[in-house]
Amino acid sequence: MSTTLPVPTAPGPDRGGATGDPSLDARWYAAAVRSELSDLPSDVVEELAGGLEADLADLAAESSTPLAQRLGPPSGYAAELRSAAGLAPRVAGGARGSGLWARATEGVREDVEHAVTHLRAQRWWPGAVERAVLLRPAWWALRGALLAWLPLQVLFGGVLTLGAFLTVLAAVAASVEVGRRRTVVPWKRSLVVAGNVLAVLVAPFALLSLAGPQTVYVDSGYASSDPAASTGVWVDGRQVTNLYPYDAQGRPLTGVQLLDDYGQPVATTTGEARDWTTFEGPSPLVPVVDAEGAVRWNAYPLQVRADGGGAPVMPPLPQPTLAPLVGAAAPVATATPTASPTASPTASAAPTETLAPAPTASVLAG
């Protein structure tokens, strides 16, 4: 053996250049070769592939052509390495077992390998890999959060407590640590792969649960799944508690009684607390009583009783007046402060000919 210790050759000038990181390409290729040798005892693998990273890095630094293009697929490289080292070629299925499953997956494995080799031969590939590697720690963190989110969601319905928050933080830290220490132990690697796959599968669900706040869920639940609670007037998925009619001239009306196309009164509420989702306790809305003594919840706007009781008052109008309608008929509702016997000039179209006059019916001064 020569006693001179050669000076290690400096890496090429284009190392880590615009076309990507050659040492990264070398690491990938070396790892792929090692995995092709995985059926051999680990000390033999080390003997065969020890120093391979450095040798490949040198080769990679010489030119920007990806290694897979210059050396061929790692499987071929590994086979050549084996045969030159005087070892038997890899038995098909080898350490993976020779069962039906191994034979079935062998073809898929080869296809994937060819696809990857083809991808790696692309000019943009090293750059893409470089960027992906930069993003890797972000994935580790996200993976931890996703894997913690799953059991929290299943066990506690995803309620964000301090404990849940700390659990997620701990999982993120653990996941990053696992990512930092790249393990070579096969069963640990399988575990990491399984974790990655699970995190990818969980991701869309976690995203959906973040995007859809719970209130939307509650609203639709009330509207559809509980018919008893879906009485009232709903507009745009929200319950309406009061209505404000305006006449053709755009002036606010009071005491306007509304019926639907089944002839039923249109009531936003019937005074029960259940209808009144915005407030706790009894509804502050007050119905009117018609001349026959019937309580009418469908005369709008409904008046509001202040907190301490007392006389009900008109609620503030959403708009003082509206623009008059084009081609509106002569003012009809202004006739008398006490309502005329007919509620509408087009009485023929109304579901009921006339309604009993309500005592408070009047037209507010516009």
Partner 1 sequence: MDATQLLKGVLDAAVLAVVEDDDGYGYDVVRRLRSAGLEDVGDASVYGTLRRLYAAGALSSYVVPSEEGPHRKYYGINARGRELLETQRKSWRAFSETVDHLLAPEGAPR
CB of 116 to partner 1, least distance (A): 18
Q: In terms of CB distance, is 82 or 296 closer to partner 1? A: 82
Binding positions for partner 1, 44-103, rule CB under 8 A: 47-48, 50-59, 71, 77-78, 80-86
**Among candidate residues 356, 235, 351, the one with its CA nearest the CA of residue 288:** 356
Closest contact distance (angstroms) between CB of 5 and partner 1 is 7
**Omega cis (within 30) before 11:** no
In the complex, minimum distance from the CB of residue 169 to partner 1, in angstroms, rounded to a whole number: 34
Cβ 151 to partner 1 shortest distance, Å: 39
Q: In three state form, how does the secondary structure of 196-230 look?
A: HHHHHHHHHHHHHHHHCCHHHHHHHHHHHHCHHHH
Max CA-CA distance within the chain?
Answer: 122
User: Site map for partner 1, 17-36, x if CB under 8 A?
Assistant: ------x---x---------
DSSP lists the bridge partners of residue 48 as none
Alpha-carbon Rg of the chain, whole angstroms? 39
Nearer residue to partner 1 within complex by CB, 9 or 215: 9
Site for partner 1 (CB under 8 A): which residue of 9, 215, 225, 348? 9
**Beta-bridge partners for 288:** 296
Smallest distance from partner 1 to CB 56, Å:
8
Cα 166 to Cα 305: distance, rounded to the nearest angstrom: 48
State the minimum distance, in angstroms, from the CB of residue 130 to partner 1.
16
Can you tell me which residue has the tokens 């062998």?
106
DSSP classification of residue 239: E
The CB-of-122 to partner 1 minimum distance in angstroms stands at 22
Is 70 or 189 the residue whose CB approaches partner 1 more closely? 70
Structure tokens that stand for 331 in this block? 């003012």
Q: Which is nearer to partner 1, 27 or 305 (CB)?
A: 27
Give, in order, the Cα–Cα distances in Å from 335 to each of 257, 340, 350: 17, 8, 19
CB of 113 to partner 1, least distance (A): 16
Cis peptide before 227 (omega within 30 of 0): no
Nearer of residues 59 and 243 to partner 1, judged by Cβ:
59
The stretch near partner 1 (CB under 8 A) out of 8-16, 197-205, 242-250, 251-259 is: 8-16
Rounded Cα distance, 52 and 85, in Å: 14
Q: Judged by CB, which is closer to partner 1: 5, or 235? A: 5
Minimum distance from CB of 86 to partner 1 (Å)? 5
- CB 234, CB 240: distance < 8 Å: yes
Identify which of residues 71 and 198 has a Cβ nearer to partner 1 in the complex: 71
Side-chain-side CA neighbours of 273 within 13 Å: the count stands at: 4
Residues from 151 through 190 that contact partner 1 (CB under 8 A): none
Rounded Cα distance between 130 and 23, Å, is 11
Residue 5, interface with partner 1 (CB under 8 A)?
yes
Question: Reduced to 3 states, what is the DSSP secondary structure of residue 101?
Answer: helix
Choice between 89 and 282, CB closer to partner 1? 89
Question: By three-state DSSP, how is residue 147 classified?
Answer: helix
8 is a contact residue toward partner 1 (CB under 8 A): yes
Size of site (CB under 8 A) for partner 1: 32
The nearer residue to partner 1, 79 or 361, going by C-beta atoms, is 79
Q: Which helix (H) or strand (E) covers residue 278, if one does? A: none
Q: Is 43 in the site for partner 1 (CB under 8 A)?
A: no
Compute the distance between CA of residue 214 and CA of residue 194 in angstroms, rounded to an integer. Answer: 31
Q: Can you give the binding site for partner 1, defined by CB under 8 A? A: 1-2, 4-6, 8-9, 11, 23, 27, 47-48, 50-59, 71, 77-78, 80-86
